[in-house]
A and B are shown apart, each in its own frame.
Chain A
């Protein structure tokens, strides 16, 4: 009984982290689906959003606003706008000029952009950790004899917000005009262009959507961990990228599944082995999937078109 409750607790913790990985992973997978590049600066967009959340909450609190709901919504909206603007600019400045050249060139440009963004925040905000006040302390407890499962309010918020974001995204992709154009572009961008679709605009929108989801993750993880520094984007980005590859890069449901699997795997490793092995397990999973199923769990093997 105690053992299974302990296990349940780890799964809850894992799904919490996993859903935020999934939110970030969608940005990788959508951009890859549409232009076939890995946007290594995406982790930095998440990091920047977390800073925006910190600044908005700190700023509004100083002005004497103490409504939790207002603080969260304001932080989320500003973070989405700032993150989207950054992603839009990054694509225009660093990716569009090299689009159509070799993949390696776009990759180097992305890595350069990642370094640039990290240093730009370092310069503006310093390298020390900033604390984000915990706005939603507390939670529920289940079970009792020996071990109680904790489900914090923050975890519930993470599940709910992730679920809502995913649903909105799924509806947008399948129903809306622009969402359909996104799918058409990811299947055959040249053809979409031949139908009079402004594919540059569709690509920009893909970056903006990915950034908005990263901003949601920035808010959730910022409040969950309560801390932000200029380096968090690197590891979060790498984890989300792993999640995207695990699920099958280019597939949105794959990114979600990959994120959840990765989150749970890490939580279980931390609980039964040691948290120091978390990254070993994550990247070990990445290596295994690349060796045995490089197209990922839900991806399709790439068929060379003749």
Chain B
């Protein structure tokens, strides 16, 4: 039984259909990536899992429980967490406060424990601990966004374009962390436009086009696939 099952999911933004009968699954301990061009519906799919927007039709099953239609705040307390597009850290709050918000519904002791874990993972955040989020660099903000998502100790981590707008060296660090998290037992669902990097670390991948899954295979096979190379990897 997979950890996350998305079955025939259709989502609309007003009259516009963004997802068309999408099905995919993410197994325990996997890194699964979803690649596709701008506007293919990648972010919509990720956010539909979080219940924002609510899907029109279809089933989302997380750890054998159907979560589609539940309020977002309920879904996000069930063991998954998200690093959304554009990071969306609380710019007016300090690193410490941002992290605390990530563990909002946990007790003080657990928050302290998770904070320690996150700071060990990102020593950079330790240096910036009392600094406001908005004053930090893009890479540091991305680390903070990932750290905040880890504060609830999720079993499934959803990442939306963590490499967007970052310097290559920072991107390399972020992907290292993603692999490390998987090795420690966190399941990862990664949405990326940087298809080459994403497919290189992924166990499996899906290709989304115009709101439909058009290809599904192992990360390696997709990297070698001619169509994928032409469309997403620049030849």
Contact = CB atoms under 8 A, between A and B. Distances in A.
Interface of A: 177, 180-181, 183-184, 187-188, 190-199
A220 to B, nearest CB: 31
Given A194-B82, A196-B73, A196-B77, A187 B104 contact: no
Q: What is the interface of chain A mostly: helix, strand, loop, or mixed?
A: helix
Contacts of B50: 194
A194 B74 CA distance: 9
A48 B22 CA distance: 54
B91 interface: yes
Contact of A190 (B52, B102, B104, B152): B52
A183 B93 contact: yes
Contacts of A190: 52, 88
21 contacts: A177-B104, A183-B92, A183-B93, A184-B90, A187-B92, A187-B93, A191-B90, A193-B72, A193-B73, A193-B76, A194-B52, A194-B76, A194-B84, A195-B76, A195-B81, A195-B148, A196-B77, A196-B81, A197-B104, A197-B105, A199-B73
A230 to B, nearest CB: 39
User: Which are the 10 A-B pairs with shortest beta-carbon distances?
Assistant: A196-B76, A196-B77, A191-B88, A198-B73, A193-B72, A187-B90, A184-B101, A197-B104, A184-B90, A196-B73
Interface string B68-80: 0000111011000
A194 B77 CA distance: 9
B82 A184 contact: no
A138 to B, nearest CB: 46
A180 B72 contact: no
A180 B105 CA distance: 13
Contacts of B26: none
Contacts of A177: 100, 104
B179 interface: no
B20 interface: no
B76 A192 contact: no
Interface string B195-225: 0000000000000000000000000000000
B93 to A, nearest CB: 6
Contacts of B102: 195
A183 to B, nearest CB: 6
Given A183-B92, A187-B92, A191-B88, A197 B101 contact: yes
A196 B52 contact: no
A180 B97 contact: yes
B93 A180 contact: yes
Contact of B152 (A188, A192, A196, A199): A196
A187 B82 contact: no
